Amino acid sequence: DGGITQSPKYLFRKEGQNVTLSCEQNLNHDAMYWYRQDPGQGLRLIYYSQIVNDFQKGDIAEGYSVSREKKESFPLTVTSAQKNPTAFYLCASRGTGRAEAFFGQGTRLTVV
């Protein structure tokens, strides 16, 4: 089945540790996105990538990093510099010429 997969679904991190969230898609989409969602709030854009080996900062990129070495993969690293990392993280992909993005089921990150 074609789709976008985020893993793990739940992730716990100790303060001061970096952690990487996985996002893989087999939809052959060029564009991929990472969003953060806090309880009861909207989606805020962290990073996005229009094509392999290229990405741009979104509105809240501080404390996060990404890579786009392969078309199907767009991992997000939450670094120790992110002051309040506990949130629901959503990855999405979009096909060229299309408006709609398809979302994964999200990763819920908790700092303990």
Partner 1 sequence: GESVGLHLPTLSVQEGDNSIINCAYSNSASDYFIWYKQESGKGPQFIIDIRSNMDKRQGQRVTVLLNKTVKHLSLQIAATQPGDSAVYFCAERAGGTSYGKLTFGQGTILTVHP
Structure tokens at 9: 């679904």
Among 43, 65, 79, 95, binds partner 1 (CB under 8 A): 43
Q: By CB under 8 A, tell whether 31 contacts partner 1.
A: yes
Going by DSSP bridges, is the β-strand pair 19-25/31-37 parallel, antiparallel, or unpaired? unpaired
Interface residue with partner 1, options 18, 41, 53, 110 (CB under 8 A): 41
Number of residues that bind partner 1 (CB under 8 A): 29
Q: Which is nearer to partner 1, 69 or 84 (CB)?
A: 84
In the complex, the smallest distance separating the C-beta of residue 47 from partner 1, rounded to whole angstroms, is 10
The answer to the question of residue 103 lying near partner 1 (CB under 8 A) is yes
DSSP string, 40-90: T--EEEEEEEEETTEEEE-SS-TTEEE--SBTTB--EEE-TT-S---EEEE
Please report, in angstroms and rounded to a whole number, the separation of the first and last CA atoms in the chain: 35
Q: Counting contacts by CB under 8 A, is residue 64 touching partner 1?
A: no
Q: Is the peptide bond before 75 cis (omega within 30 degrees of 0)?
A: no
Among 104, 110, 111, 112, binds partner 1 (CB under 8 A): 104
How far is it, in rounded angstroms, from Cα 24 to Cα 75? 8
Binding site for partner 1 (CB under 8 A): 31, 33, 35, 38, 40-45, 48, 50, 56, 58-60, 83-84, 90, 92, 94, 99-106
